[in-house]
């Protein structure tokens, strides 16, 4: 029997509706969450992402502040802008779209953002809060994966989870989130011995390595929940000159063994912007000492 398909697009739409409802309530009380997005240069993919974020922010009823800077912008000028946004009470979330031009340092840029406004959840402060059980702003993609898992499985206590990938952006925060849910967590990576055997132990298998269809069907424990975070563009087998998106998991194979699985596209991807909006709402509530909406945080 084929696995249940986890519809991230539909779930993300519900999250965005919930966020919009909460924003409407706050606005009626005189508080409107605000998200500032900073784009340095004119990377085509980044331009598209920033446009999507602006549209989603406005649709949720939030204030959207876009700052588009020329590629030659100096670090000093970028930091001056970030400092101004840090001090602006109308801005509750700040996101600098990466990649930035080569002369700018991403880590230094993230460190300049006030951690309470770091809605990407990338700062050392937020990573530390997550690791120690504090009220962190959590990186959007792992937060979205956690929401999908909670929705599918309910209580995650005692489940064995394997996260393939140890990046600061995803693998490490995903593992920390699963630990907070009382899972038994293994972080696997390129140096892991007997990786297929390790994966076959998992009740929850999360793949985030950026290697197309690396995880085969026989790596999956029967009935496991599989979250595929990978995304690779490859030539389309039936349409010459066209491409398609595939994940880190060999979907057709894994679907025959798993209990539930996210597709690529349409699985994890739509959750990222939804969780960016949720983080901005959370940051706004914390800034004003208001109760945080249920189900939108870790």
Point out the catalytic residue in the list 18, 118, 120, 248.
120
What's the rounded Cα separation, in Å, for the pair 111 and 105? 10
Residue 100: name the closest of 120, 74, 118, 125 by CA.
Answer: 74
CB 5 within 8 A of CB 263: yes
Q: Which of 97, 172, 176, 221 is catalytic?
A: 97
Residue whose entry in the numeric block shows the structure tokens 């101004």 = 84
Tokens of 172: 């490490």
Sign of the alpha-carbon torsion through 254, 259, 265, 268: negative
Q: What single string gives the DSSP state of each residue in the chain?
A: -PPEE--HHHHHHHHHHHHHHHHHHHHHTT---EEEEEEES--HHHHHHHHHHHHHHHHTT-EEEEEEE-TT--HHHHHHHHHHHHH-TT--EEEEPSPPPTTS-HHHHHHHS-GGGBTT--SHHHHHHHHTT--PPPPHHHHHHHHHHHHHHS--TT-EEEEE---TTTHHHHHHHHHHTT-EEEEE-TT-TTHHHHHTT-SEEEE-S--TT-B-GGGSPTT-EEEE---EEEE-SSSTT-EEEE-SB-HHHHHTT-SEE--TTTSSHHHHHHHHHHHHHHHHHHHTTPPPPTTS--
Concerning whether 97 is annotated as a catalytic residue, the answer is yes
The answer to whether 77 is a known catalytic residue is no
* Residues designated catalytic: 53, 97, 120
């Amino acid at each position: 029997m084929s696995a249940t398909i986890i519809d991230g697009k539909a779930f993300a739409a519900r999250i965005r509706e919930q966020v919009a409802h909460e924003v409407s309530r706050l606005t009626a009380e005189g508080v409107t969450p605000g998200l500032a997005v900073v784009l340095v240069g004119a990377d085509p993919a980044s331009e598209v992402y920033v446009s999507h974020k602006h549209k989603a922010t406005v649709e949720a009823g939030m204030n959207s502040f876009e700052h588009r800077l020329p590629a030659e912008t100096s670090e000093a000028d970028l930091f001056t802008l970030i400092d101004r946004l840090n001090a602006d009470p109308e801005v509750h979330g700040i996101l600098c779209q990466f990649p930035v031009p080569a002369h700018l340092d991403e880590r230094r840029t993230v460190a300049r953002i006030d951690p309470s406004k770091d809605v990407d959840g990338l700062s050392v402060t937020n990573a530390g809060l997550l690791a120690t059980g504090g009220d962190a702003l959590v990186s959007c993609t792992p937060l979205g994966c956690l929401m999908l898992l909670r929705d599918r499985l309910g209580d995650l206590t005692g489940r064995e989870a394997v996260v393939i990938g140890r990046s600061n952006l995803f693998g490490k925060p995903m593992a920390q989130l699963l630990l907070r849910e009382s899972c038994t967590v293994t972080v696997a990576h390129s140096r892991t011995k007997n990786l297929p055997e390790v994966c076959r132990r998992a009740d929850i298998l999360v793949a985030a390595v950026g290697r197309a269809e690396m995880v085969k069907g026989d790596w999956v424990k029967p009935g496991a929940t599989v979250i595929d975070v990978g995304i690779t563009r490859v030539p389309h087998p039936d349409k010459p000159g066209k491409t398609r998106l595939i994940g880190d998991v060999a979907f057709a194979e894994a679907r025959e063994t798993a209990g539930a699985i996210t597709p690529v596209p349409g699985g994890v991807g739509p959750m990222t912007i939804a969780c960016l909006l949720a983080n901005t709402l959370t940051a706004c509530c914390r800034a004003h000492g208001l109760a945080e909406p249920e189900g939108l945080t870790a």
